[in-house]
Chain A
């Protein structure tokens, strides 16, 4: 379960499209001499979708940061290896530049979501600090992950922007070889294979501190990690894995760390890359290093001046972070990546509430914290859900408005193990009937301010992605009270509209109520949902009202999100914690940091995210297939899995909310990232 909707980022980056002939382009079969293995680039299987109207990439923008002239809407793209089709993705800013002239420099201000300011800098982050504000908006600006995902709304890995070249897999998919490009840390040392090993060593010794750790997953499934040379890492795996899955869900979790951090005290000298016997090489040493770094990460006020945290390989350097969460960055002049910052300064502003942020947006200028000049605007902000009807006002003020939908699906949970209603919820026909009562299109219109996407299965059809099959955009259980009523009636229920429907034909036959359901048992449920979300308030009340029409009584219980998180848990029927019946988190399942939409963390029996206690042998097998098939079989395996889960309804599908992002009129280069990252190094101002 990942983050709540929040503001993102966009780009002018070079991007390699399927079919281009660049060496790093996805979709290539590679054979590398020396290891005697057939090596497959995993992205051959899932080509990136073509965005409508993509523009021709051009070289030159980065080089011309000081004086680049933009030639209208079609001139912004960049190409790392030749030309290709281009145009801004839907919602990308900069599509109406006219004769505006780009300029380098300037300060951009980014509005953080309220309540969760950045407060943890160490990328090996535990669950309590695992927020979008810490990871996607803060750490990745300073410390580049090995692979970059989600650029320009794409759901694919972006090798041109990544430190690592496309990983290559051996014939049996048990060995992965990763080569690194030439990147440097700000202390002048190269980003090396040893830095990747350092990360893996820390993870292996401190699994419980890693928010994304799943028992049996990364790094458990890596039996050995070796730096073959300064720029090559070889991972041996405990089984044969689907290369796409392993790249998108496991290698995606790697962030190379500088060896300057491989110590246990500040007094110790920063080790040189050639040093032997560094502490991370033993488990106890790696734990000590973690404890030291975690301790250093507690001194928020000294992040900017810390000899540890100031060693970066990202596009930005931190120059200030207040305890309130206002973070200031300047470009890392030694950044080795392709996208060097155009801005002179980037500031993330903290807000006590969405209402306060919106007031600043409407007023048009921010007091803006330390260093904000009078009259500065929020460069990239967001419209709170409550204020979506006022978005027209913002447009008239000159803001560009961009819809942002992360790659996610949304749902609410039945507790299939609840001792009272579990037997009812375990009946597929009942779940089908219940799903028919969810009016997704109506909810989006009435409660989501139009800013929602319907969910029909575990692999969303939007944003466009190569994983969803043809059925993903078809609702198998469209809103229909009549269909719900018929399903109940056909299975022996005495349907009492506006009363309580009861079981009239107990038994486990195909036309009976189902196993464990007694004669006369009624359809009464309690549904727990989080307070403070406009769309959830409305949609849950609507569901309650609609359900009454088929005699399903739903008692709504609005609680804090924390109560939800501590209550809606997987359980066995005998446990006291199994008392909840229906519930929802208010946030969907965002495919971050696992970017491949397989279901092993949510729908597999016993998975940590499987709080509905769903268990189905067929589904389990299909999930295993998605993770352990070959690259050639990946598409078919994923199709089979999503078709099964779509109809099985382990959860009830509901619309995924989006975010309406505001972009200052003369700021360009922004567009939403599919996984919620921001890339302010791509932003730039134009002269009016």
Chain B
């Protein structure tokens, strides 16, 4: 297991380097003058030269990339062209709040989706299954942007039950101290994820229920509760764990939409704005962070298989 983990970590480093090379190359292939994009069309030639000099843009691209890589190794993700902050400080400031928002939503989604999926599988093609499937499809096909706006229109503007904004505190403690403001963004993320995880869970549970070992467990007279918990649930969780491991980038994607709608500054929106505004250091820095999280998430998912399924062994 240790050897396997180490190999995967080495793979992760290779993947990350490849990712940064790709993003770096793509950024430099974008046509147009970067300094003008940042400084504006009225920038003087002197100002452009000064910007290029300050940011090392007059050097060959390979040299620029190596400088970037060296900085990353030393824990320096770069300095934003536009936000007057280091990328490190942006990540340190925004990532914890993102993790709270997405983490709470994911936990809630799993807490709902797992039993719901099993229940649907047990009552396959009956009323509960049909209703839950319909609702899942409805939620899954609904853009989270639209869902968020609907919730705001109904619960913040319509009946004033919840505020239209997510918590505005800068610290995680401050965010958690304002649970009312967390409700709408968390509901938005949760509903979308319930639909996703619920469908996977139902499908996996349907498969598991048809397995011989389940039939055997029942035939041995094991109580239904024990059958479900020990055999059905545990084995059905494998695809959901895979999904969880690969859903780390959702911090950027789904989170982006919620951040946009609910005024919750986070990494997703920062990344999007960086891409739109040619803020390359921010784009690259967040790419590194998210790439790292993605490969680690995938690794943890693989390791979790071994816990869930004793037949899985990594040597």
CA distance A370 to B178 in the complex (A): 12
Contact of A119 among B32, B36, B84 (CB under 8 A): B84
B33 and A367 within 8 A (CB)? no
B264 and A323 within 8 A (CB)? no
- A322 at interface (Cβ–Cβ under 8 A)? yes
Contact of B82 among A128, A297, A363 (CB under 8 A): A128
- Interface majority SS (helix, strand, loop, mixed), chain A: loop
A-chain residues with CB within 8 Å of residue B83 when the two chains form the complex = 117, 119
- A284 at interface (Cβ–Cβ under 8 A)? no
A352 and B269 within 8 A (CB)? yes
A562 and B37 within 8 A (CB)? yes
How many whole Å from A345's CB to the nearest CB in chain B? Answer: 16
Query: Given A300-B85, A323-B93, A585-B41 in contact, is the A367-B167 Cβ separation under 8 Å?
Result: yes
A215 and B44 within 8 A (CB)? yes
A-chain residues with CB within 8 Å of residue B38 when the two chains form the complex = 127-128
Query: Given A128-B81, A568-B41 in contact, is the A356-B34 Cβ separation under 8 Å?
Result: no
Contact of B43 among A351, A364, A608 (CB under 8 A): A608
How many whole Å from A375's CB to the nearest CB in chain B? Answer: 10
Tell me the chain A residues, 280-309 only, with Cβ under 8 Å from chain B: 297-298, 300
- Contact flags B149-170 to A (C-beta < 8 A → 1, else 0): 1001000110010011111111
CA distance A115 to B277 in the complex (A): 10
- Contact flags A352-369 to B (C-beta < 8 A → 1, else 0): 110111011011111111
CA distance A509 to B165 in the complex (A): 65
How many whole Å from B145's CB to the nearest CB in chain A? Answer: 9
A-chain residues with CB within 8 Å of residue B276 when the two chains form the complex = 560-562
Contact of B84 among A120, A208, A569 (CB under 8 A): A120
CA distance A357 to B166 in the complex (A): 12
CA distance A362 to B156 in the complex (A): 9
- A475 at interface (Cβ–Cβ under 8 A)? no
CA distance A183 to B99 in the complex (A): 49
Count of CB-CB pairs between chains A and B under 8 Å: 169
A360 and B43 within 8 A (CB)? no
- B40 at interface (Cβ–Cβ under 8 A)? yes
CA distance A156 to B82 in the complex (A): 32
The CB with the most chain A CB atoms within 10 A, among B149, B265, B269, is that of B265
Chain A residues near B (Cβ < 8 Å): 1, 115, 117, 119-120, 126-130, 207-209, 211, 213-215, 297-298, 300, 322-324, 326, 350-353, 355-357, 359-360, 362-370, 372, 560-563, 565-569, 577, 585, 601, 608-609, 611
Contact of B168 among A353, A368, A566, A568 (CB under 8 A): A368
Chain B residues near A (Cβ < 8 Å): 30-34, 36-44, 46-47, 49-51, 81-85, 89-90, 93, 149, 152, 156-157, 160, 163-170, 178, 181, 259-265, 269, 273, 276-278
B-chain residues with CB within 8 Å of residue A352 when the two chains form the complex = 259-260, 262-265, 269
Contact of A213 among B33, B44, B152, B273 (CB under 8 A): B44
CA distance A561 to B37 in the complex (A): 9
A-chain residues with CB within 8 Å of residue B178 when the two chains form the complex = 367
Contact of A323 among B47, B85, B260 (CB under 8 A): B85
B-chain residues with CB within 8 Å of residue A367 when the two chains form the complex = 163-168, 178, 181, 263
CA distance A129 to B273 in the complex (A): 15
A356 and B261 within 8 A (CB)? yes
CA distance A560 to B156 in the complex (A): 32
A-chain residues with CB within 8 Å of residue B264 when the two chains form the complex = 352
B-chain residues with CB within 8 Å of residue A601 when the two chains form the complex = 42
Query: Given A363-B163, A370-B169 in contact, is the A569-B259 Cβ separation under 8 Å?
Result: no
A-chain residues with CB within 8 Å of residue B170 when the two chains form the complex = 322-324, 370
Query: Given A563-B32, A565-B37, A569-B36 in contact, is the A370-B168 Cβ separation under 8 Å?
Result: yes
A609 and B157 within 8 A (CB)? no
Least CB separation from B167: chain A residue: A367
Can you list 5 residue pairs at the A/B interface with Cβ under 8 Å?
A323-B93, A353-B263, A356-B262, A359-B152, A563-B37
How many whole Å from A118's CB to the nearest CB in chain B? Answer: 10
How many whole Å from A355's CB to the nearest CB in chain B? Answer: 6
B37 and A566 within 8 A (CB)? yes
B46 and A208 within 8 A (CB)? yes
A363 and B156 within 8 A (CB)? yes
A326 and B41 within 8 A (CB)? no
Least CB separation from A601: chain B residue: B42
B43 and A323 within 8 A (CB)? no
A-chain residues with CB within 8 Å of residue B269 when the two chains form the complex = 352
CA distance A355 to B262 in the complex (A): 9
How many whole Å from B279's CB to the nearest CB in chain A? Answer: 9
A-chain residues with CB within 8 Å of residue B82 when the two chains form the complex = 119, 128-129
Least CB separation from B50: chain A residue: A208
B-chain residues with CB within 8 Å of residue A117 when the two chains form the complex = 83
CA distance A128 to B52 in the complex (A): 12
B-chain residues with CB within 8 Å of residue A585 when the two chains form the complex = 41
B-chain residues with CB within 8 Å of residue A297 when the two chains form the complex = 84
How many whole Å from A135's CB to the nearest CB in chain B? Answer: 13
B41 and A1 within 8 A (CB)? yes
How many whole Å from B300's CB to the nearest CB in chain A? Answer: 30
B41 and A126 within 8 A (CB)? no
A362 and B39 within 8 A (CB)? no
A-chain residues with CB within 8 Å of residue B260 when the two chains form the complex = 352-353, 355-356
How many whole Å from B149's CB to the nearest CB in chain A? Answer: 7
A-chain residues with CB within 8 Å of residue B33 when the two chains form the complex = 566, 569, 577
CA distance A367 to B265 in the complex (A): 14
A-chain residues with CB within 8 Å of residue B157 when the two chains form the complex = 359, 362-363
Least CB separation from B181: chain A residue: A367
How many whole Å from A6's CB to the nearest CB in chain B? Answer: 16
CA distance A31 to B258 in the complex (A): 64
CA distance A362 to B152 in the complex (A): 10
A-chain residues with CB within 8 Å of residue B166 when the two chains form the complex = 367
CA distance A129 to B163 in the complex (A): 32
A-chain residues with CB within 8 Å of residue B168 when the two chains form the complex = 326, 367-370, 372
How many whole Å from A453's CB to the nearest CB in chain B? Answer: 23
B-chain residues with CB within 8 Å of residue A569 when the two chains form the complex = 33, 36, 41
How many whole Å from B61's CB to the nearest CB in chain A? Answer: 17
How many whole Å from B170's CB to the nearest CB in chain A? Answer: 5
A127 and B39 within 8 A (CB)? yes
Contact of B39 among A126, A360, A372, A577 (CB under 8 A): A126
Closest 10 CB pairs of A and B: A566-B32, A127-B39, A566-B37, A356-B263, A208-B46, A359-B164, A369-B168, A119-B84, A367-B165, A208-B50
CA distance A365 to B163 in the complex (A): 8
A-chain residues with CB within 8 Å of residue B152 when the two chains form the complex = 359, 363
CA distance A616 to B170 in the complex (A): 55
CA distance A123 to B31 in the complex (A): 32
CA distance A566 to B46 in the complex (A): 16
Query: Given A326-B168, A359-B164 in contact, is the A129-B261 Cβ separation under 8 Å?
Result: no
The CB with the most chain B CB atoms within 10 A, among A115, A359, A611, is that of A359
B-chain residues with CB within 8 Å of residue A126 when the two chains form the complex = 39, 47, 51
B-chain residues with CB within 8 Å of residue A353 when the two chains form the complex = 260-261, 263
CA distance A688 to B166 in the complex (A): 30
A-chain residues with CB within 8 Å of residue B32 when the two chains form the complex = 563, 565-567, 577
B44 and A214 within 8 A (CB)? yes
How many whole Å from A110's CB to the nearest CB in chain B? Answer: 15
B-chain residues with CB within 8 Å of residue A115 when the two chains form the complex = 273, 277
B-chain residues with CB within 8 Å of residue A369 when the two chains form the complex = 168-169
Least CB separation from B92: chain A residue: A323
A562 and B277 within 8 A (CB)? yes
A-chain residues with CB within 8 Å of residue B163 when the two chains form the complex = 363, 365-367
CA distance A119 to B89 in the complex (A): 14
CA distance A149 to B63 in the complex (A): 47
The CB with the most chain A CB atoms within 10 A, among B31, B41, B156, B178, is that of B41
How many whole Å from B228's CB to the nearest CB in chain A? Answer: 42
Query: Given A326-B168, A367-B163 in contact, is the A609-B261 Cβ separation under 8 Å?
Result: no
CA distance A355 to B181 in the complex (A): 17
A-chain residues with CB within 8 Å of residue B44 when the two chains form the complex = 207-208, 213-215, 608
How many whole Å from B52's CB to the nearest CB in chain A? Answer: 11
A-chain residues with CB within 8 Å of residue B259 when the two chains form the complex = 352
